[in-house]
């Protein structure tokens, strides 16, 4: 993949994950869609303070996430098509956003279709988590969970200032900052937009991913990775 393509894809995917994760947490009563293990904490909290069926959405998200990982791995082993897998994230988010729009027009905020839409979003983030492992060179690092990136950024920074400075160390710091800034921007945008428009906001990251996937060759200079 081209160097500039990796840069832009890192920003877009980190932004999208932050946007989606914060949106579902804000609108769907504390549901993490990308940071899936956080749902265990939320579920345990709800179990102690509230006792309604809707609280189990956090727990159900885990097997949905696992299914996404397994299916993505299986599809990749058969077709070996990185671009199609990336595009599938955008398509699923697009379907979720359009579904949210229809539900919003009919003033539906619960029920089977609503929760199915939420699980569709979780499934899309399961795919994104998986491609971070399957195609590690497509982005600067994990685009979904930032804990590891924060740790790596701190290690790289102190290595840069305490040991003989090298250009490579500085580049590693910048890569981490790209992911962190993209994710943080997505979180802020997701919270602000979804609080007004609900999960119709999924159309924003969906559009970014799909447009980039189809027009990447036209808008990115042809600079190949060494």
Integer Cα distance of 199 and 203 in angstroms:
8
CA distances in angstroms from 104 to 21, 100, 195, 196, listed in the order given: 20, 6, 13, 12
pLDDT at 199 over 90: yes
Return the higher-pLDDT residue of 216 and 203.
Answer: 203
User: What pLDDT is attached to residue 58?
Assistant: 83
Selection from 81, 175, 178, 70 nearest residue 127 by Cα: 70
**Average pLDDT rounded to a whole number, residues 112-136:** 94
pTM score: 0.89
CB under 8 Å to 208, separation ≥6 — which residues? Answer: 12, 15, 16, 90
CB atoms within 10 A of CB 48: 8
CB atoms within 10 A of CB 47: 13
pLDDT in tens, 38-83: 888 888 887 787 655 556 778 889 999 999 999 999 999 988 888 8
User: What pLDDT is attached to residue 1?
Assistant: 59
Give the three-state DSSP class for 2.
strand
Integer Cα distance of 135 and 82 in angstroms:
8
**Average pLDDT rounded to a whole number, residues 177-188:** 95
pLDDT at 223 over 50: no
User: What pLDDT is attached to residue 59?
Assistant: 85
Question: What are the start-end ranges of the H helices in 37-111?
Answer: 38-49, 57-79, 82-105
pLDDT at 20 over 90: yes
Give the three-state DSSP class for 120.
helix
DSSP-assigned letters across all residues of 161-223 = HHS---HHHHHHHHHHHHHHHHHHHHHHHHHHHHHHHGGGGGHHHHHHHHHHHHHHHHHS---
Q: Are residues 3 and 139 in contact, defined by beta-carbon separation less than 8 angstroms? A: no
pLDDT in tens, 104-113: 999 888 889 9
Q: Of 23-27, 161-165, 211-215, which range is least confident?
A: 161-165
Percent of the chain with pLDDT over 90: 53
Q: Tokens standing for 164?
A: 């003989």
Please, which pLDDT band fits residue 169 given cuts at 50, 70 and 90? confident
């Amino acid at each position: 993949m081209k160097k500039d393509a990796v840069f832009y894809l890192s920003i877009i995917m980190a932004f999208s994950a932050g946007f989606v994760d914060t949106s579902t947490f804000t609108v769907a009563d504390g549901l993490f869609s990308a940071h899936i293990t956080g749902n265990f904490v939320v579920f345990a909290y709800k179990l102690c303070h509230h006792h309604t069926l809707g609280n189990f959405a956090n727990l159900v998200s885990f097997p949905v996430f696992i299914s996404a990982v397994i299916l993505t791995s299986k599809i990749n082993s058969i077709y070996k098509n990185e671009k199609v897998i990336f595009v599938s994230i955008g398509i699923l988010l697009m379907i979720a956003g359009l579904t949210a729009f229809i539900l919003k027009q009919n003033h539906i905020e619960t029920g089977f279709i609503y929760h199915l839409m939420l699980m569709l979003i979780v499934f899309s983030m399961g795919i994104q988590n998986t491609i971070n492992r399957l195609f590690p060179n497509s982005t600067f690092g994990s685009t979904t969970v930032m804990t590891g990136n924060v740790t790596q950024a701190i290690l790289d920074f102190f290595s840069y200032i305490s040991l003989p400075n090298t250009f490579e160390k500085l580049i590693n710091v910048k890569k981490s900052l790209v992911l962190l800034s993209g994710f943080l921007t997505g979180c802020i945008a997701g919270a602000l937009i979804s609080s007004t428009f609900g999960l119709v906001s999924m159309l924003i990251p969906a559009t970014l991913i799909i447009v980039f996937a189809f027009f990447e060759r036209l808008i990115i200079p042809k600079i190949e990775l060494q």
